[in-house]
Structure formats: C-alpha cells, structure tokens
Structure 1
Amino acid sequence: MAVSKPNYLMPIISKMYCSSSQVVLVVRRRPQVVGGGGFVVMNCSQRVVFQVDGCGILGKKGELILRDSDGDAILLIRQLKGGLVQALSIHKKWKGYYDYHGFQKSVFSVKEPNQNSCFPTSNSVKISAEPNYVGQSSDWNFEVKGYFPDKNCSIVDSLGNIIAQIGVKEEIEKAMTSKDVYHVIVQPGIDQAFVFGVIAVLDYIYHESTRC
C-alpha cells in the first residue's frame, strides 16, 4: 500500500488543522473513573492539541464533541437515528458538523461496518467528505484498513494512499495490556481535526473510551 505524501492541503474542516510536514500525535484515554469520558490528543511536547468528550461527559449516547487545545468545540459528531432510509440501511451512520459562522455545516459522514455480514466489503468503515471531495465519483472518499481495537490500522483515500496511521509503540505495547495509549501519524497536508473526528467515531463504535 502506498504512503501518501501530498504536496497540497486537504482542509476538510479547516486549513488551520493542516501541517506542511508529517505530524506524530499521542492519544491517551481519560481515567477509567470517568465513564465514557473520551480521550486527549497530545503532541511531542506533551501539550494537548485536541480532546474528545464522550457520552459520560455529555450525558447523551451517540454524540461526541471534538475540542481544540483551549476546550472550544470544533466538531459535533452524531449518530443518525430514525427515518426510513436509516431504518432500511444495514449500516449505521454518523455525521460530523462544523460550526460555520453560527450554523452547523455537515463536513463528513462515517458508515459503521455491518458486523453481521459475511462479505468483507461490508465490514469496512467508509468515510465520505461533504461535499464530495476533489470531484471523486465514488460514494466514499476514505476507508479504514485494519482493525481499530488492535490499534493497528490506517485511514486511506480511495486511491489507497495512507493519510493517517494508528499504532502502538513497541515499548508501550510490552508494558500495557490495553491500548489506552497509542500514536497517530498524520501525513503532510492532511486535516488533523478530520482525522481525529473519524477516530472519535471509531472509538465509540468499538466500545472504547467515549462510550458509556
């Protein structure tokens, strides 16, 4: 699989969250005493870059908030509920909303895997940027390859280029039985807020730190 090294910015949320160089960030879940409390994202200087509030803080299931280092909300992420289309679909769907000049603008959607399906293609997590990004004709722009609970997976674009890679450093893996701490490598030009919005949904889907 090719590793993406774009020479352009891909601001799905905002260009302010894109870096011209590769970025390595560390995710640490909040203490177990906070049920569904979420996680924090830190840079190499141990400074908080993002934080995610889960249902234990928000008091609502199927809802997440991605915040910046100052605690200001960047994204409201909701699991869609109700409606005929959603009822007939074999996939559950999430949407990420960005506060754009006072109104909520839908910026991406995530389809949960159909875990009851025998077909591998139904078991992958598909992500669509909204509106459809860079004129792609497919109904999805990104996909999660690998298995998130193992912290061994990547977010790839529709051409197979890796935009973000999730893993656990060997020394941490040996010292810990759980994956409470892991790293995320975000490629140059990629919107980091978008990446961690997707990771917040993955965390909830697989019953981890954001889910009560």
Structure 2
Amino acid sequence: MAAEANNFMPLVSKIYCSSSQMVLVVRRRPHVVNGGGFVVTDCAQKVVFHVDGCGVVGSKGELILRDGNGDPLLLIRRKGGVVEALCIHKKWKGYTFEYEGLQKSVFSLKEPIGNSCLARNNAIRISIDPRVSNKNWDFEIKGYFPERDCSILDSGGIVVAQIGVKEEVNKLMTSKDLYHVVVKPGIDQAFVFGVIAVLDYIHGESTRC
C-alpha cells in the first residue's frame, strides 16, 4: 500500500520520509576519480545521499548507502544463487546499521542472471522486513534502468518512485550519468536509493568494478 502524505512508511528512518513529493538528482561518479558510485542531491544541490560501490568498499557485491554527512545508512550485500523458474537468481539484502555493530534486515531483492531473465519487461520483485503485503513481495520494479525509464511500484500497482531523465538533459548528454528520481510523499527515500544502488550494480554501472 502506498504511503499518503500524512502516512509515512519509514524503512530506514522517518527523517527520509517527506510529506511532499521529492525530486532528487543523481550524478554518477567516475571510477578513476572517486572509485565510482553516485551522489544524490536535492533541488538546492545539497547532498542527501551518496553510494559507495566496490571501487570504494573494496569488495564485490557489497554497497554502502551514506547520508549527506557520510555516515552509513544501509549495507547492501549480494548473496548466493537461487534457482527459480529456470533462472538463476542472486539475492541482494539491505541492512541498516544498528548500535554496537548490529544489522537489521530492511529489504531483499532477487537479481535475475542471464539475458533471457533480464528482459526489459521482466519485473524485479522486492520484499521488505516487516512485510506489508499479503503477496510474496511488497514492491516491484518495472521498466529498463539503463535507459533511465523505470518505476518502483507497490503491491497494489501504485508508483512510489520514478526514475527518468529530463528532456533538456537528454539532448545535451549522450550518457546517462545524470538523471532524476521522483519519490512520492511518505516513501522512505533511503530505501528507494538503496534499491537504485542495486539496479546500478546489476547493470554494470558506476557501483560495479
């Protein structure tokens, strides 16, 4: 169920749930300069999040989402493969950093492997902890991330976040290094960008070595 403006849905923290729709800008960092990953800014160009990939973390299949001050919010790891419907999936799990080094599970996402599984029309399903849907998943990703044309929907089919490129930027840039993400009211922005970090890695972009 999508969150309304007065019905926040904190998965990482309530402070990342806005009462109004947010438009945030993502800029990929070059591997040769900053070890890859990407930076997320708001309309005032203030850094809200940044993501470190394996070029910074030093471990493949591991990502860290940090806040604007550089403090870690999410540790995201890729687990072993699972065979399902003739496709081999690797599961990603996102954890918050708790006190005394403890980690709390926030979400899991199955990564399809192979060209036949990564078809553009193939939705990627996300489960959160605790569960909010009576289905075996809570959110799904539809569209094609490499073209910056995809959305995160809840189990009822309502769009909670949308990834795109402004037309004027698209005309000026042949690469997809700069794009925007629209996050609906009440949705945890840290969760959204944790999911986007996984998509970036799956498609071999800035977070991958």
Same fold (TM over 0.5): yes
Distance 2:3 2:191 in 1: 17
| TM-superposed deviation, 1:5 | 6.7
Select the residue among 60, 77, 97 that pairs with 1:99.
97
- Between Structure 1 and Structure 2, how many residues are aligned? 203
Q: Deviations over 1:154-207 (max 9, x none)?
A: 000011100000000001000111100000000000000000000000000000
Native 8 Å contact 1:36 1:211 kept in 2: no
SS at the partner of 2:191? Answer: helix
Task: Return the TM-score normalized by structure 2.
Answer: 0.91
Identity %, equivalent residues: 64
Distance 1:67 1:119 in 2: 28
Native 8 Å contact 2:11 2:188 kept in 1: yes
Distance 1:142 1:41 in 2: 22
Kindly report the root-mean-square deviation, in angstroms, between the aligned alpha carbons of the 2 structures.
2.0
Q: 1:154 maps to what in 2?
A: 151
Distance 1:94 1:138 in 2: 19
SS at the partner of 1:112? Answer: strand
* Larger strand percent: 2
Q: 2:190 maps to what in 1?
A: 193
| TM-superposed deviation, 1:113 | 2.7
SS at the partner of 1:208? Answer: coil
Within-5 A mapping of 1:24-35:
24-34=23-33
Q: Which runs of 5+ in 1 are unaligned?
A: none
Native 8 Å contact 2:82 2:91 kept in 1: no
Native 8 Å contact 1:49 1:69 kept in 2: yes
Q: 2:48 maps to what in 1?
A: 49
**1:63–1:171: structure 2 CA closer, same or farther, 3 Å change rule?**
same
Distance 2:154 2:55 in 1: 32
Q: 1:17 maps to what in 2?
A: 16
Distance 1:114 1:124 in 2: 13
